[in-house]
């Protein structure tokens, strides 16, 4: 059996990190077994579809180094891969279930359904359709169809017993049939529901493994009943626990959720994002943290996917990204970081700019941060925060140290890193100071920051005249 997994997003905009994490697991599983990774677009909710979203999904997966074996833009024998182009297929299979008496026409109006919902609310119970249309006679159904009465097709659920869901992470799960609603399979506009289209497509596209969120376990019981109704073989399921936000709640924009492109536009590297997200809910059998895509594929073991929820931590993602930045080839780094560098450099030459960007290579967590850390190189007057001011007031020697720096820097004839280091060494020897007291005062006054790259490199790039001007102020 050839392993085939599918990633089936809705074309509603950017891909968020929870969806991307699922795609990563599906991709790694397929490629571990030399299988196929299929992209399928679930656009049954036409009102939410966004123009250009399919191309955007392809671009995102391409940036993440995914090889899409089949999809809307590289169709093979199981297409089309966009659900709105498969409406006739779904109707055929829905009618087959009606013939088998495993589904039925439902002609209930929205007013009738709303009345049922109100009664359920009064009884403080979840709304379940009462199945009234499943008792209509053949004559009543034929008359309604003849008269063009709007209808949906509902799945006929068993009302007693349990349905078993086999899962490679959670084992054997028993779902009580009494909680299963007679779900709609085909809507009145002819479009299938998400649950029905998934089952039909997964069967026809020969999907062998389905990875989805743990919150859909109950829905999987409905899937299994559909597979049984058709007499089809079920795929192997892996339900993964949720990715939670930084506050421990479900991911949302308020607690750290972001789309892949939000992160990419900020200057997070795709390989860092994939590496970090792959470890949210999965762990290798060793302590390795940094993986290439090839290493992830080789090390991935679906049995090591955790049953527990994982927490998205932007600081941890920054730590991963920092690792990838500092390990970049310098020329590759310069080509990359210049896309994010937005300072006004009209009076600076290319060599100076390259040196500035390289000096900060080891100090960046993401691309756009380069503007924040270099801003004081491009303004005349800098402002100090309270912590910096407090430090400058913390020792009576600091005023003398700064005066000594002013004298030493003034005396430099050839402005070079080597001569700046000599000036720093002279201050150290002349005043007998070292450590923070030696380096921090000049760093704060000259650059406006308490921390940063090597002091001599920083001073060299700021320039002699600017440093003296700031010291004198």
Would you please indicate which residues are annotated as catalytic (active-site) residues?
253
Per-residue DSSP letter, 305? B
Judge whether 213 and 195 are in contact, CB under 8 Å: no
Phi, psi of 84, rounded to the nearest 5 degrees: -65, -15
DSSP secondary structure code for residue 232 in this structure: P
- DSSP, collapsed to helix, strand or coil, labels residue 102 as coil
Torsion of CA 404, 407, 408, 413, to 10 degrees: 170
Query: What tokens does 350 get?
Result: 């290319």
Query: Would you list the DSSP string of 225-238?
Result: HHHHHHTPPPPEEE
- Long-range contact set of residues 338-344: C-beta below 8 Å, sequence gap at least 24: 339/367, 340/267, 340/367, 340/368, 340/370, 340/371, 341/370, 341/371, 341/374, 342/371, 343/371, 343/374, 343/375, 343/377, 343/378, 344/378
* Residue 5 DSSP one-character state: E
Question: What are φ and ψ of residue 204, in 5° steps?
Answer: -70, -30
Q: Which of 39, 35, 34 is nearest to 22 (CA)?
A: 39
Q: Which DSSP symbol is given to 432?
A: T
């Amino acid at each position: 059996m050839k392993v085939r997994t599918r990633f089936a997003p809705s074309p509603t905009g950017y891909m968020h990190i929870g969806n991307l994490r699922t795609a990563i697991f599906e991709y790694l599983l397929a490629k571990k077994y030399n299988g196929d990774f299929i992209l399928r677009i679930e656009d049954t909710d036409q009102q939410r579809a966004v123009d250009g979203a399919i191309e955007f999904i392809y671009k995102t997966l391409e940036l993440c180094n995914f090889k899409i074996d089949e999809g809307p833009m590289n169709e093979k024998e199981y297409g089309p891969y966009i659900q709105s182009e498969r409406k006739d297929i779904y109707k055929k299979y829905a009618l087959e279930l009606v013939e088998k008496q495993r589904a039925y026409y439902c002609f209930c109006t929205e007013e009738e359904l709303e009345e049922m919902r109100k009664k359920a609310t009064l009884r403080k119970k979840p709304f379940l359709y009462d199945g009234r249309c499943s008792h209509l006679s053949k004559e009543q159904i034929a008359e309604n169809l003849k008269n063009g009465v709007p209808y949906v097709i509902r799945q006929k659920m068993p009302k007693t017993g349990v349905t078993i869901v086999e899962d490679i992470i959670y084992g054997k799960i028993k779902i009580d049939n009494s909680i299963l609603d007679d779900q709609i399979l085909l809507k009145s506009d002819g479009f299938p529901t998400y649950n029905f289209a998934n089952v039909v497509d997964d069967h026809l596209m020969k999907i062998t493994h389905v990875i989805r969120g743990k919150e859909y376990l109950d829905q999987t019981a409905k899937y299994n009943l559909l597979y049984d109704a058709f007499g089809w073989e079920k795929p192997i399921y892996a339900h993964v626990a949720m990715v939670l936000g930084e506050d421990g709640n479900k991911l949302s924009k308020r607690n750290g959720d972001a789309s892949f492109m939000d992160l990419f536009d900020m200057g997070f590297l795709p390989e860092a994002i994939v590496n970090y997200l792959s470890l949210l809910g999965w762990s290798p059998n060793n302590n390795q943290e940094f993986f290439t895509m090839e290493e992830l594929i080789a090390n991935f073991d679906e049995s090591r996917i955790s049953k527990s929820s994982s927490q998205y931590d932007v600081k941890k993602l920054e730590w991963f990204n920092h690792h990838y930045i500092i390990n970049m080839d310098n020329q590759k780094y310069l080509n990359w970081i210049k896309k994010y560098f937005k300072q006004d450099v009209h009076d600076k030459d290319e060599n100076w700019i390259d040196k500035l960007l390289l000096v900060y290579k080891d100090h960046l967590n993401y691309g756009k941060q380069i503007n924040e850390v270099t801003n004081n190189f491009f303004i005349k007057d800098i402002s100090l925060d309270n912590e910096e001011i407090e430090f400058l007031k913390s020792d009576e020697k600091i005023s003398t140290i700064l005066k000594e720096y002013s004298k030493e820097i003034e005396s430099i004839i050839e402005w070079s890193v080597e001569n700046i280091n000599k000036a720093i060494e002279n201050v150290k020897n002349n005043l007998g100071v070292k450590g923070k007291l030696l380096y921090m005062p000049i760093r704060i006054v000259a650059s406006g920051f308490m921390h940063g790259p090597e002091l001599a490199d920083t001073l060299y790039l700021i320039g002699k005249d600017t440093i003296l001007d700031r010291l004198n102020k």
